[in-house]
């Protein structure tokens, strides 16, 4: 006999620890299910929030963070301030400003699908005069039809933001497509795609400044001349990395007389904040996942207690064959951990699959954070160890004669 009789090899240990699972696969599967559900919930939540975060960050990346907006703020005396007519031109001359577009909100003009719509049902839509370079500054594409040009900017022609088109029920652009805008008919030239960095544009009908002045009387006086305006929002593309420097100069440049009446913001901040919020886990679902894990742990502990009682004769036999108390303890502890890890692995796979399906449908990048799946499996090991500890100790302390008597 060689007979050092110490530890079992890993292979033997695994074989012995999996005897109970192989003998009763259905029972093992059901008791692992609780852990699988809990792990799947946690991994799914972490995966989905990470994926949606990745989706938003990708969107921010695409839209660029170098867009700044300049808006008229509040007067010190109360009431709304306006931007000077010359503000866009001045801003264009700033170093590090690549492009500047601007729109002017026509507060009194409303837009309807036709003239029969009651005046109150404006649908929250706004009418804005716009500079012609707006889509390129916002990197917003034209979904249907055409954008304004120098010609159509002078005539009663409008381009609709994505939301505005939806609310007006216009899903295609036909030559005779008209809307009732500011008390007269305007033709619809095109529909824009959604513009996440400038949500106001989405819910607006956009017309050229000359048309706004001619048909809706939207004009101010600058350097002794009547000009269309004033702009209410200026969109500025800066050189990448120079946002902060430009941001500091924008207010005094836009309105040197009253820089404090100008509000400057970075619209990508809002998206960044949303991405951060998406990364924050849904604590309710995480909590449910933890509860499922605890219930699963209780289930595994329960099964292990039953298993130890049922397998007394096996314990007695193994003791008679020379198993130490420690080896019996390891066997049942190993079985419990194995059970929980199977549940954990299934849960991680299910959670990852749910993440993949949802993120795929949303067009996000599929991200299952390393912490989520390693944490899921690690917590399964921990749960298995905790759940199996008491039954395993019980099994090891069972006197071999008692174990053999109850055959």
Partner 1 sequence: MTGGRHLELAAAGDTVLELDAVTKAYGEEPAGGARVDALRGVSFAVRRGELVAIVGPSGSGKSTLLHVMGTLELPTGGVVRIDGVDPAGLDDRELSRLRARSIGFVFQQFFLSEHATVRENVADGLLYAGVPTAERYRRADEALGRVGLADRATFKPTKISGGQRQRVAIARALVGRPAIVLADEPTGNLDSTTGAAIMELLRELHAAGTTIVMITHDEGLAGQLPRRIRMLDGRVVGDDRRDRDVGATPADSAGDRDVLAAPDDGTTDHSVLVVPDDGASEGDR
Interacting residues toward partner 1 by CB under 8 A:
1-6, 8-9, 11-12, 16, 19, 22-23, 313-314, 316-327, 399-401, 404, 407
SS (H, E, C) the chain: CCCCCCCCCHHHHHHHHCHHHHHCHHHHHHHHHHHHHHHHHHHHHHHHHHHHHHHHHHHHHHHCCCEEEEEECECCCCCECCCCCCHHHHHHCCCCEEEEEEEEEECCCCEECCCCCCCCCCCCCEEEEECCCHHHHHCCCEEEECCCCCCHHHCCEEEECHHHHHHHCCCCCCCCCEEEECCEEEEEEEEECCCCCCHHHHCEEEEEHHHHHHHHCCEEEECCEEEECCCCEEEEEECCCCHHHHHHHHHHHHCCCCHHHEEEECCHHHHHHHHHHHHCCCHHHHHHHHHHHHHHHHHHHHHHHHHHHHCHHHHHHHHHCCCCHHHHHHHHHHHHHHHHHHHHHHHHHHHHHHHHHHHHHHCCCCCCCHHHHHHHHHHHHHHHHHHHHHHHHHHHHCCHHHHHHCC
- Cβ pair 288, 85 in contact under 8 A: no
Q: Which is nearer to partner 1, 331 or 355 (CB)?
A: 331
Tell me the closest approach of the beta carbon of residue 17 to partner 1, in angstroms.
13
Tell me the closest approach of the beta carbon of residue 341 to partner 1, in angstroms.
20
Tell me the closest approach of the beta carbon of residue 381 to partner 1, in angstroms.
25
Q: Which is nearer to partner 1, 110 or 318 (CB)?
A: 318
Q: Which is nearer to partner 1, 375 or 400 (CB)?
A: 400
Q: Which is nearer to partner 1, 178 or 311 (CB)?
A: 311
Q: Which is nearer to partner 1, 23 or 306 (CB)?
A: 23
Count of alpha carbons within 13 angstroms of residue 343, beta-carbon side: 37
Q: Which is nearer to partner 1, 21 or 383 (CB)?
A: 21
Tell me the closest approach of the beta carbon of residue 330 to partner 1, in angstroms.
12
Tell me the closest approach of the beta carbon of residue 307 to partner 1, in angstroms.
14
Q: Which is nearer to partner 1, 237 or 312 (CB)?
A: 312
Tell me the closest approach of the beta carbon of residue 340 to partner 1, in angstroms.
21
Tell me the closest approach of the beta carbon of residue 321 to partner 1, in angstroms.
6
Q: Within a 10 A sphere around the Cβ of 57, how many other Cβ atoms?
A: 18
Q: Which is nearer to partner 1, 323 or 346 (CB)?
A: 323
Tell me the closest approach of the beta carbon of residue 393 to partner 1, in angstroms.
14
């Amino acid at each position: 006999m060689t007979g050092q009789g110490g530890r079992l090899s890993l292979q033997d240990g695994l074989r012995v620890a999996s005897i109970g699972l192989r003998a009763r696969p259905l029972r093992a599967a059901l008791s692992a299910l609780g852990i699988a559900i809990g792990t799947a919930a946690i991994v799914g939540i972490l995966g989905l929030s990470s994926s949606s975060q990745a989706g938003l960050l990708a969107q921010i990346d695409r839209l660029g963070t170098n867009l700044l907006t300049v808006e008229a703020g509040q007067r010190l005396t109360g009431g709304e301030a306006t931007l000077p007519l010359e503000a866009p031109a001045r801003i264009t001359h700033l170093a590090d400003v690549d492009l500047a577009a601007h729109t002017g909100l026509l507060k009194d003009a409303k837009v309807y699908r036709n003239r029969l719509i009651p005046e109150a049902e404006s649908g929250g839509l706004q009418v804005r005069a716009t500079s012609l370079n707006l889509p390129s500054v916002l990197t917003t594409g034209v979904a249907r039809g055409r954008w304004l040009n120098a010609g159509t900017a002078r005539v009663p022609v409008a381009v609709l933001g994505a939301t505005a088109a939806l609310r007006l029920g216009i899903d295609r652009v036909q030559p005779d497509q008209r809307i009732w805008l500011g008390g007269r008919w305007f033709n619809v030239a095109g529909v824009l795609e959604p513009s996440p960095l400038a949500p106001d544009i989405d819910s607006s009908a956009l017309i050229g400044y000359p048309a706004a002045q001619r048909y809706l009387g939207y004009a101010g006086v600058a350097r002794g001349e009547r000009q269309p305006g004033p702009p209410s929002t200026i969109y500025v593309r800066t050189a990448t990395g120079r946002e902060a420097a430009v941001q500091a100069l924008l207010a005094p440049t836009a309105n040197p007389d009253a820089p404090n009446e100008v509000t400057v913001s970075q619209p990508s901040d809002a998206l960044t904040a949303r991405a951060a919020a998406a990364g924050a886990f849904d604590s309710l679902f995480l909590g449910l996942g933890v509860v499922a894990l605890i219930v699963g742990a209780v289930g595994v502990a329960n099964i292990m207690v039953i298993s130890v009682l049922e397998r007394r004769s096996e314990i007695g036999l193994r003791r008679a064959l020379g198993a130490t108390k420690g080896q019996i303890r390891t066997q049942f502890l190993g079985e419990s951990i194995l059970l929980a890890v199977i549940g954990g692995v299934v849960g991680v796979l299910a959670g990852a699959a749910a993440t993949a399906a949802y993120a795929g449908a949303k067009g996000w990048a599929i991200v299952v954070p390393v912490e989520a799946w390693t944490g899921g499996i690690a917590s399964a090991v921990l749960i298995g160890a905790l759940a199996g500890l008491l039954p395993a100790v019980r099994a090891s302390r069972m006197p071999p004669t008692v174990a053999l008597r109850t055959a």
